[in-house]
Structure 1
Amino acid sequence: MKPGPLNLITDVPGLSVGNAEHAALKSGTTVLTAQAPFACSYAVLGGAPGTRETDLLEPDKTAPGVDALVLSGGSAFGLAAAQGVMEALHDAGRGFAVHSARVPLVPAAILFDLLNGGTKGWRENPYPGLGRAALAAAAGHFALGSHGAGTGAQTAMHKGGLGSASLRLDDGTMVGALVAVNPLGSVTTPSGRHFWAAPFEIGGEFGDLGPDQARGYQTPPPSRKSAAMAALGNTTIAIVATDAALDKAQLRRMAVAAHDGIARAILPAHSPHDGDLVFAVSTGARPLVAPPLELTQIGHAAALCLSRAIARGVWEARSAAGDLLPTLRQDLGLE
């Protein structure tokens, strides 16, 4: 397996991603979409999720596909970003046909970034506009780190961010991941100088810091995030995608497998105070030949991509005025 040409989720043909953010707000929105509806399911393993329209992604529900997915900051206010995306898609004539009506289907998940030092005293919810802007910006290339839904994200010890990665399987199947990293836990080992995801790094994509050489269990330092804001403001939200033709039940298994990528890259993961959620997407371009074996490999690749994407999101984060936490690069003397 090797990364695709962009090492982004948009290496899955047909997908595009757009970001929009507000510097003073220290928050933003990321949208994944395609030219045609795509199959989607999801899995939640965190104890405090914030979502919209996820029930229709259950394998037994009738909705055949969705038009876009939204990852957003803003806690419950950020769910309104999906409304902005929905309205823009409706203006473009997109949506599930119900006789003469069209209803765009836009599931969403949010992270908590309300206590990160940004200006939050808005009179009008800014997230519908951020959703529209992110959709309008959707393309094959997009920025990582302190952009989109990762703009105001924070980990236990450093600024979080938006990350992405991809892998091409030996049979040509493409798998990718997109993630906004804002967990209760830490993405780095107790030394603060190595990623938990280091064993899965490819080509120095998140600094080539290597694995931590310390042996045995190391007591983690006190969380900077908890000291700076609150233990309740967390969540890692992600999308994994493939061009393999998976149905909603198979995508549910892909999403469950991808959660292993969170657990390998963030310690602790899936806490009562995290809303950890993974959407799984299929464009359906490549028929399966041996479904059980292929699904296993796709799930494994999704977990690897997600671990790498988490580390990339933190590695690419940049400092900004008013930040409550340093970036990893600042701690390493590189910024």
Structure 2
Amino acid sequence: MTRNLLTDVAGLSVGSADDARLASGVTCVLFDAAAVAACDVRGGGPGTRETDLLALGRTVERVDALVLSGGSAFGLDAASGVQAFLREQGRGFAVGAMRVPIVPGAVLFDLLNGGDKAWGRFPPYRELAYAAAAAATAEDFALGSVGAGLGATTVDLKGGLGSASAVTEDGVTVAALAAVNACGGAVIGGGPWFWAGAVERDGEYGGHGLPQRVPAAALTPRTKGMPGQNTTLVIVATDAILDRSQAQRLAVMAQDGFATALYPVHTPLDGDIVFAAATGRVALPDPVFALTRLGAVAAQVVARAIARGVFEATALPFPDALPAYRDRFKG
């Protein structure tokens, strides 16, 4: 039975932790065994940790976890919390008698969403991330305004944490996890239609499909914020056996899901990134066409995860907070 979540991919677990007063949080993906991983950055204002390690030709080719966090640059501390948790479990890259958990991550900007960011000397993201790792599950997990999605917004609606999954015709599972804090919007002309309506499955974000005609006004780009104040973060995972080069191609192809689900996207104002990870359970029948099919389906699940992140979100309880999709379209 599928859950339509990242945890449909065997060999990983997902955990989130957040602080309602802070209006921010952390979401992490832990791998049962170190996974081959890569990343592709398209936004003009990224905030990342250890992404250089994911480039082709690097010595360490596998990661123990991936982390998505609010807090802008302060949220880069989150990876240290997950690293601490994994070290207690004896996980990590062996260096002599030491083990160093490999935990790349990325952050989104949610510092101006109305939450109390007066945290004192040290930001809370390391401790939130440790709690997220300790809470990680390979079963169902919450979507919407939780974890890294708690403080997220789009240009006109509350953003959030979304996920979706699919199985390719080759029997390979691929799924996405998205923290949607986009510079642009996920809905057409104010809604109720999602830009990703064409790839929706089983009414997972309302079942409205696409309008008969896209209003001309909807094609005028609308954006929020200043450079660095946005970013949609995505983790794509598969149970396929991939090498680093194939994982990199998967990340590149999965980026097409952003263009399906958001408008505009990959702007100078965003830090959009896709991490791709393979848990290595299922062999591809061939290295070219099966990877092509996997990447095409990955782009669809990314688009669906982004739309679900907005659909499942709830509004923040602050003055002038953006409405949630379900508040605006109760019917």
- Which residue of structure 2 aligns with residue 312 of structure 1? 308
What are the residue-to-residue correspondences of 1:179-328 with 2, within 5 Å?
A: 179-215=178-214, 217-219=216-218, 223=222, 226=224, 230=226, 232-322=228-318, 324-328=321-325
What are the residue-to-residue correspondences of 1:1-335 with 2, within 5 Å?
A: 5-123=2-120, 124-140=122-138, 141-215=140-214, 217-219=216-218, 223=222, 226=224, 230=226, 232-322=228-318, 324-333=321-330
Separation in structure 1 between the aligned mates of residue 148 and residue 13 of structure 2, nearest angstrom: 15
- Report the residue type matching 1:139 in the other structure: T
Separation in structure 2 between the aligned mates of residue 231 and residue 178 of structure 1, nearest angstrom: 24
- Report the residue type matching 2:179 in the other structure: A
Q: Deviation at 1:62?
A: 1.2
- TM-score of the pair, normalised by structure 1: 0.94
Separation in structure 1 between the aligned mates of residue 262 and residue 309 of structure 2, nearest angstrom: 12
> Paired residues, what number?
328
CA contact (8 A) 1:146 1:318 kept: yes
- TM-score of the pair, normalised by structure 2: 0.96
- Unaligned 5+ segments in structure 1 are none
CA contact (8 A) 2:178 2:306 kept: yes
SS of the residue corresponding to residue 41 of structure 1 reads strand
Q: Deviation at 1:255?
A: 0.4
- Report the residue type matching 1:296 in the other structure: T
Q: Deviation at 1:172?
A: 1.3
Q: Deviation at 1:60?
A: 1.0
Separation in structure 2 between the aligned mates of residue 18 and residue 275 of structure 1, nearest angstrom: 22
Judging changes above 3 Å, is the alpha-carbon distance between structure 1 residues 222 and 98 closer, same or farther for their aligned structure 2 residues? closer
CA displacement 1:207-248 (0-9 Å, x = unmatched): 11221222464345785x73xx65641000100011111111
SS of the residue corresponding to residue 255 of structure 2 reads helix
Runs of 4 or more off by more than 6 Å in structure 1? none
SS of the residue corresponding to residue 28 of structure 2 reads strand
SS of the residue corresponding to residue 197 of structure 1 reads helix
CA displacement 1:43-84 (0-9 Å, x = unmatched): 001100000011111121110311100000000000101001
Judging changes above 3 Å, is the alpha-carbon distance between structure 1 residues 103 and 238 closer, same or farther for their aligned structure 2 residues? same
- Unaligned 5+ segments in structure 2 are none
Identity of aligned residues (%): 51
Separation in structure 2 between the aligned mates of residue 244 and residue 219 of structure 1, nearest angstrom: 38
CA contact (8 A) 1:190 1:221 kept: no
SS of the residue corresponding to residue 210 of structure 1 reads coil
Separation in structure 2 between the aligned mates of residue 106 and residue 232 of structure 1, nearest angstrom: 22
Q: Deviation at 1:8?
A: 0.5
Q: Deviation at 1:311?
A: 0.4
CA contact (8 A) 1:43 1:279 kept: yes
Separation in structure 1 between the aligned mates of residue 247 and residue 54 of structure 2, nearest angstrom: 10
- Report the residue type matching 1:62 in the other structure: T
